[in-house]
Structure formats: structure tokens, C-alpha cells
A and B are shown apart, each in its own frame.
Chain A
Amino acid sequence: AQSVAQPEDQVNVAEGNPLTVKCTYSVSGNPYLFWYVQYPNRGLQFLLKYITGDNLVKGSYGFEAEFNKSQTSFHLKKPSALVSDSALYFCAVRADTGRRALTFGSGTRLQVQP
């Protein structure tokens, strides 16, 4: 079985400050890891993914994520938050074998204050 935990329901950060949205995962085998963002009344949009290679992955809108195998984590980061980053963020995982569908975390609401 595979699972994802996003321990924070909401993260608040001031505009211009760095942000981190946490994600830990559990899979059998090697993980494929993803971050998606959801704006109000919209579907999810892909931000970035880790398949293999460098542990630091860069994605859309200045976001990046760091894969840490020993801690089974894939935290989303951005050096300087924008008010427009306020949205719901989902971490997702699947193993490199077996079930092809992604398992999503419960989501973390990011609120960036001006």
C-alpha cells in the first residue's frame, strides 16, 4: 500500500518570506513523487515531479522540492512567497511498480499574507 501525509492543514506565511509545505510518503519500492496546486473552483495543476536523479527538483512558478529518501519526505519550497501563491497544495506518490494511479495527500492550504 502507498500513502502520503501532509501534516499541516494550513500554512501561513508573509509575502516575500520563504515557504515550506511538508510531505512524507510511504511506498513499496522506489517512489515517483508529485506536487499539484489547486486554485478555487479549478482542477489540480501540475507543479513538479521527482522520478530519479537530483534530489532537488525545480518546477513551475519558482517552486522546488527536495527528495529525502532517508526521511521519506518531499517538501515543497519557494524562496520568496507571493500572495498569488495562496492555494491548496497536494503531494502525491506512486511506486515504480504495481498500481499506476497516484495516491494524493489530504492537501495543505497555503495562505500568503501581504
Chain B
Amino acid sequence: DARVTQTPRDKVTEMGQEVTMRCQPILGHNTVFWYRQTMMQGLELLAYFRNRAPLDDSGMPKDRFSAEMPDATLATLKIQPSEPRDSAVYFCASGLVFGQGPHNEQFFGPGTRLTVL
């Protein structure tokens, strides 16, 4: 049963510290998404990649957030320095998308709950 995995599941850190969240997409999927979920803002798209190349990171605060895909099996989201307002659940999702054709469903990971004190 193929699943998206995310680590860590929970992270508590202090303001100013670096945070790295990891995601392993489903094998064979060519698109990876990072979302952030908060009570106030709901589900926000931060960035997404197609074939490991960033396609859109307009939802991400550029000064402190960075997203990369070092290889096809790993996506990372890094916050440096972290701030209390970054506290949220961060979801990774993967999918299979070809060109402009019909969009197949995204498969979500369980999320990383980040608390910045």
C-alpha cells in the first residue's frame, strides 16, 4: 500500500532555530506539493515541484522558507530562522500529472505538526 511519508510527525522548537521537514513521495509520482494548515488560514499551498524542479513557490515566505528535492525520493521544507507564527501542520502531497491533461488526485502524507515557542 503506497503512501506518502513525512518526518518528523511532531516538532517542538524554539524561536530562531532551524527546522527541516522531510517527505518521501509515492514512488513513481512526478509532482510534490507542500501545504500548510492553520485554523486561521486553512490549507495554503506553499510550493510544488514537477520532476524535481520547482514550478511554483509563490505561497512561501522567501526570506525564511526553502523547499528542495535533492532526489526523486525526498522533498524537504526548511525554515530558518523559525518564528512562532510558523506553528502549523505542514502536509506533503504527491501526484502524477502529465502536461496540461486531467489532474490526478493528490495523495497526502500524515503531516508534521510544528510548534515554535
Contacts and interface: CB of A to CB of B under 8 A. Distances in A.
Nearest to B31: A100
A96 to B, nearest CB: 7
Chain B interface mostly = strand
B42 A42 contact: no
Contact of A49 (B93, B97, B105, B108): B105
Contacts of B50: 100
Given A46-B107, A100-B97, A101-B56, A51 B42 contact: no
Contact of A94 (B55, B103, B107): B103
A44 B108 contact: yes
A90 interface: yes
A90 B106 CA distance: 13
Nearest to B108: A43
Contacts of A34: 105
Interface residues of A, number: 25
B103 A107 contact: no
A45 B108 contact: yes
A67 to B, nearest CB: 14
B102 A107 contact: no
Interface string A17-53: 0000000000000001010100001111110010110
Interface string A85-96: 000001000101
Nearest to A49: B105
Contacts of B100: 96-97
Nearest to A94: B103
Interface in A70-85: none
Contacts of A36: 108
A32 B42 contact: no
Interface string B44-69: 01001010000110000000000000
Interface of A: 32, 34, 36, 41-46, 49, 51-52, 90, 94, 96-97, 99-107
11 contacts: A43-B4, A43-B91, A43-B110, A44-B43, A45-B108, A51-B102, A100-B31, A100-B50, A100-B97, A102-B45, A103-B45
Interface of B: 4, 31, 33, 42-43, 45, 48, 50, 55-56, 91, 93, 97, 100, 102-103, 105-111
